[in-house]
Amino acid sequence: MTRRNRSIAALAIAALFLVACQSQEKGDKRPERIKIGLVTDVGGRGDQSFNDSALRGLEQWAANQEYTPQGYAPLSPEAREQAIPRELATKGIAPLDIVPVVLHAKQHEDYESNLQLLLDEDVQLAMGVGFMLENAVESVARKNPDKRFLLVDSPILDASGQNYDLSNVKAVTFREHEGAFLVGAIAGLATKSEKIGFVGGMQLPLIRRFEVGFRAGVQATNPRAAKQMLIAYTGSFNRVDAGKQVAQDMFAKGADIVFHAAGGDGLGVIAAAKEAGRFAIGCDSDQHAVAPEAVLTSLIKRVDLAVYQAVAEASRGEFKAGHSEMGLAEGGLDYAPIRNSKFSLAEREMLTKQIHILEQQIISGSVRVPATMEELNAQNALLGVIPAKAPAQNAAQAGGDKTQAHPEGVTAVASGSGEMASSEAAKTAADSAAPRTATQQASPNATAAAGTDAANATPDVAPMNGTAAPAKDKSAQESTPADAPQPPAATAPSAP
């Protein structure tokens, strides 16, 4: 960050603080409110996804403030009620006596200097939201051992990539694959074309967890769709045009539902779905309001809750360093209500009940959702499905169903088909595996392939395609003909 930019950032902080404190008159005897700082990643305010979720937790939930072009303004009771979901009513989310201080990073090089600027403003807690801030938080925390930090979406990592703790850093991560499994199951039940797409941002382990969980969810409820999934990565999180172009390619190839885990790029996915008259599945925040006619549901990642809870601890003087993880059981993940009017109320209610069953099974541990491609392929092997011998490396090498060239950093779309073979040994292993894999527990066809009793092991899941839901026994016996292909292992996506 240049000296000029540092000066501008410092002035911005001073202006925000001045506006936030306007209500304190000269004779006000209240103790000075503590300041809590937050640095966004390059996606910034307005992504209607990850960063906006973090800002909601700090500004609306904790500070009871609403950001406007003129600065902060008090949040009305109506707006506050709308900002806090009903399912979090028991989490004790109440206004805190704090002043929010927010800096937006324009480039990666800004992360460390922005964190230091927050410390210069004497914030009681400096928050870096996004795994891309891991190095910056670690560096600034080491230089300022008396200051406290929150890192969202990544643990602190050593030179070998292993997790370790710093005494002044609280790190919060999520089991994204659990939530992605649920929206994948929704997509598998709701698709009519049986072609479903996934658009990721950068090809990193965190985003791969979204992909793997989504693949597993689709395969659990619709093995045919899982076989021909379309996968692409944009290589960024702040290029709406890149997300839109990739999604347009997928819709042109027949996909009727595309899930994104691509931050700001995901707004392009939603725009493409709206233009094509298809569906998108949002990510991180409930993105229904972006395009009500196009958003089927959203994977909600409770970054807002993680931020609020850390701020509440800091305001009480109860900061706790270390690494914690949030999944479905901890309330860290959820999926948005299915509100789309293209499905009847009865269809929406049926689907919600079916997904609730899967959700409870994941929380109880009776369903285990894979987090990596290796785990997903291992589950498939238990079911007698052999992974593809050589996953596609790029469009030129792979051949087959690929798109034309994309903008720089955008991965070509690859279908998820692979090779398969049955194995009596695999069937025997699947019978004795405990707890059940996600595919065994949720998919009638996959369960039958593993030699298990579908009626006992499978919740009543049926495609939501505008027709009446078949009975459970009929679903297990007739949803896939005897000569139809069995679900293959998901292949790794093509490299950028």
Kindly report, residue by residue over 140-192, the tens digit of the pLDDT. 999 999 999 999 999 999 999 899 999 999 999 999 999 999 999 999 999 99
Q: Is the pLDDT of residue 390 over 60?
A: no
For 186-209, what is the mean pLDDT? 97
Reported confidence tier of residue 453, pLDDT bands at 50, 70, 90: very low
pLDDT at 448: 30
pLDDT at 66: 95
- Whether this prediction's pTM lies above 0.85 is answered by no
User: What SS3 state is found at 455?
Assistant: helix
Among the ranges given (196-205, 429-438, 467-476), the one the predictor scored with the smallest mean pLDDT: 467-476
**Contact of 494 with 393, CB cutoff 8 Å:** yes
Cα–Cα distance measured from residue 467 to residue 390, given in angstroms and rounded to the nearest whole number? 39
Cα–Cα distance measured from residue 261 to residue 306, given in angstroms and rounded to the nearest whole number? 19
- DSSP secondary-structure letter at 277? T
Query: Which domains does the chain show, CATH number per domain?
Result: 3-22+30-174 (3.40.50.2300), 177-301+334-478 (3.40.50.2300)
For 215-258, give the DSSP string.
HHHHHHH-HHHHHT-EEEE-S-SS-HHHHHHHHHHHHHTT-SEE
Dihedrals phi, psi of 300, to nearest 5 degrees:
-100, 120
Reported confidence tier of residue 7, pLDDT bands at 50, 70, 90: low
Cα–Cα distance measured from residue 101 to residue 123, given in angstroms and rounded to the nearest whole number? 8
Q: Is the pLDDT of residue 426 over 50?
A: no
- On the CB side of 88, CA atoms within 13 Å amount to 23
Cα–Cα distance measured from residue 304 to residue 174, given in angstroms and rounded to the nearest whole number? 12
For 203-227, what is the mean pLDDT? 96
**Contact of 357 with 472, CB cutoff 8 Å:** no
Tell me whether the omega of the peptide bond preceding residue 435 falls within 30 degrees of 0, making it cis: yes
For 76-85, what is the mean pLDDT? 94
- On the CB side of 51, CA atoms within 13 Å amount to 24
Reported confidence tier of residue 489, pLDDT bands at 50, 70, 90: very low
pLDDT at 32: 79
pLDDT at 469: 35
Q: What angle do CA 324, 330, 332 make, to 5 degrees?
A: 80
The residue that leads in pLDDT, 122 or 484, is 122
Reported confidence tier of residue 414, pLDDT bands at 50, 70, 90: low
Which pLDDT tens digit goes with each residue over 286-314?
A: 999 999 999 999 999 999 999 999 999 99
SS3 readout for 278-333: CEEEEEECCCHHHCCCCEEEEEEECHHHHHHHHHHHHHCCCCCCEEEEECCCCCCE
Among the ranges given (45-59, 285-299, 439-453, 466-480), the one the predictor scored with the smallest mean pLDDT: 466-480
Q: Is the pLDDT of residue 437 over 60?
A: no
pLDDT at 492: 33
Reported confidence tier of residue 106, pLDDT bands at 50, 70, 90: confident
Reported confidence tier of residue 1, pLDDT bands at 50, 70, 90: low
For 348-353, what is the mean pLDDT? 95
* Rounded percentage of the chain residues whose pLDDT exceeds 70: 71
Cα–Cα distance measured from residue 65 to residue 415, given in angstroms and rounded to the nearest whole number? 46
Average predicted confidence (pLDDT) for the chain: 79
pLDDT at 89: 86
For 408-420, what is the mean pLDDT? 47
Q: How many CB atoms lie within 10 A of CB 277?
A: 11
pLDDT at 380: 75
The one-letter amino acid at 399 = G
Reported confidence tier of residue 35, pLDDT bands at 50, 70, 90: very high
Q: Shortest CA distance to 80 belongs to which of 109, 60, 96, 63? A: 60
Tokens 């090809």 belong to residue: 203
For 371-400, what is the mean pLDDT? 59
The residue that leads in pLDDT, 4 or 107, is 107
pLDDT at 416: 57
For 103-116, what is the mean pLDDT? 94
Dihedrals phi, psi of 335, to nearest 5 degrees:
-130, 145
Question: What is the crossing angle of helices 265-276 and 240-252, to 10°?
Answer: 40
The residue that leads in pLDDT, 415 or 271, is 271
Q: How far out from the chain centre does Cα 17 lie?
A: 32
Q: Is the pLDDT of residue 481 over 50?
A: no
pLDDT at 256: 98
pLDDT at 154: 96
Reported confidence tier of residue 123, pLDDT bands at 50, 70, 90: very high
For 222-249, what is the mean pLDDT? 96
Which pLDDT tens digit goes with each residue over 465-476?
A: 443 333 333 233
Reported confidence tier of residue 43, pLDDT bands at 50, 70, 90: confident
pLDDT at 454: 32
* Rounded percentage of the chain residues whose pLDDT exceeds 90: 66
**Beta-strand relationship, 230-233 and 414-415:** antiparallel
